[in-house]
Amino acid sequence: MRLRDQVAIVTGGGRGIGETIALRFAAEGAAITVAGTGREHLEATAGRIRERGGRALVSVTDVSDEAAVEAMVQATVGVLGHVDILVNNAGVSGPTAPVGAVALAEWNETLGVNLTGAFLCAKHVLPLLIAQRSGRVINIASVAGVSGYPLRSPYAASKWGMIGLTRTWALEAGEAGVTVNAIAPGPVTGPRIEQSIRRRAEHSGASEDEVRRGFLEPTALRRFVEAEDVAAAAVFLASGEARNITGETVSVSSGFHL
């Protein structure tokens, strides 16, 4: 129970990586606010936590809306007592297209959720962690934030930006004993990577099998990552075992390289 008596906010907590992190944190003893835009999925995640004896709060929150984020944080403190951990996981894939075909609205939406959303959550959580002189922020970035990612300009820019925020916030919060780190997953099994494969195949003219091989070949282990692998890294970074790790980006990518 490495997170006993801790309270964590997990954005994008209703599905995929966010859901898996929320469940793993709860299994380690944390109470969880699961936040996102899809109530049905959030309620399902919270229900699974409660069935296993944990505490969970559902917050239907658009992280690109500052008033909604502020209300989410206030509700967490009001119901669960405090905040110890923030996991900035909420994100959208954005368009798959060459830069000349990306609409400004698509750019703004992707950056608004992926990057501005992380900023707004940190804006309203980090001061609480600094005041209590303890806490963790974990940003779910991507290997797209450390390398080029053709046909995905908005997504790549948002993840590069998230890593920059990680390093900056680590310096701002370090004196108070608060750590800020990022996790950069490689391609993760599930509906999102399958959607990316389909879209890339449509734009490139390659078959889906060829695109899938294109994701696998740059990995040393020649396999996709599982959401559980990312959640395991998040548990470690949230725990006392990682108390002297901050400002870092941990790659969970099956050895993805270019």
For 53-63, the pLDDT digits (tens) are 999 999 999 99
Give the residue-averaged pLDDT of 32-55. 98
Q: Does residue 201 belong to any structural domain of this protein?
A: yes
**Predicted pLDDT at 203:** 86
Q: How confident is the model at residue 227 (pLDDT cuts 50, 70, 90)?
A: very high
Catalytic residue among 119, 155, 169, 224: 155
155 is catalytic: yes
Please indicate, yes or no, whether residues 82 and 208 belong to a single structural domain of this protein. no
* Distance in angstroms (rounded) separating the CA atoms of residues 94 and 201: 16
* Distance in angstroms (rounded) separating the CA atoms of residues 215 and 7: 36
**Predicted pLDDT at 258:** 61
Please indicate, yes or no, whether residues 144 and 209 belong to a single structural domain of this protein. no
Strand ranges inside the chain, DSSP E? 7-11, 31-36, 56-60, 85-88, 136-140, 179-185, 249-252
pLDDT over 90 (residue 192): no
For 76-133, the pLDDT digits (tens) are 999 999 999 999 999 999 999 999 999 999 999 999 999 999 999 999 999 999 999 9
User: Which residue range is the domain that position 20 belongs to?
Assistant: 7-186+227-248
Q: Does residue 26 belong to any structural domain of this protein?
A: yes
Q: Does residue 235 belong to any structural domain of this protein?
A: yes
Please indicate, yes or no, whether residues 49 and 70 belong to a single structural domain of this protein. yes
Please indicate, yes or no, whether residues 217 and 97 belong to a single structural domain of this protein. no
Q: How confident is the model at residue 160 (pLDDT cuts 50, 70, 90)?
A: very high
Q: Does residue 178 belong to any structural domain of this protein?
A: yes
Please indicate, yes or no, whether residues 83 and 37 belong to a single structural domain of this protein. yes
Q: Does residue 133 belong to any structural domain of this protein?
A: yes
Please indicate, yes or no, whether residues 243 and 201 belong to a single structural domain of this protein. no
For 9-27, the pLDDT digits (tens) are 999 999 999 999 999 999 9
Instruction: Give 114's DSSP letter.
Output: I
**Predicted pLDDT at 127:** 98
* Distance in angstroms (rounded) separating the CA atoms of residues 131 and 125: 10
* β-pair type (85-88, 56-60): unpaired
* Distance in angstroms (rounded) separating the CA atoms of residues 118 and 92: 12
Per the prediction, the chain carries an average pLDDT of 96
Q: How many domains does the chain have?
A: 2
| CB of 89 closer than 8 Å to CB of 70 | no
97-119: burial string, b at 16+ Cβ within 10 Å, e else: beeeebeeebbebbbbbbbbbbb
Looking at the chain, the whole-number percentage of residues with pLDDT higher than 70 is 100
Q: Does residue 56 belong to any structural domain of this protein?
A: yes
Q: Does residue 204 belong to any structural domain of this protein?
A: yes
* Distance in angstroms (rounded) separating the CA atoms of residues 22 and 47: 12
Please indicate, yes or no, whether residues 163 and 243 belong to a single structural domain of this protein. yes
Please indicate, yes or no, whether residues 126 and 96 belong to a single structural domain of this protein. yes
Please indicate, yes or no, whether residues 137 and 214 belong to a single structural domain of this protein. no
CATH of the domain at 132: 3.40.50.720
Give the residue-averaged pLDDT of 141-167. 96
Please indicate, yes or no, whether residues 169 and 47 belong to a single structural domain of this protein. yes
Please indicate, yes or no, whether residues 113 and 209 belong to a single structural domain of this protein. no
Q: Does residue 34 belong to any structural domain of this protein?
A: yes
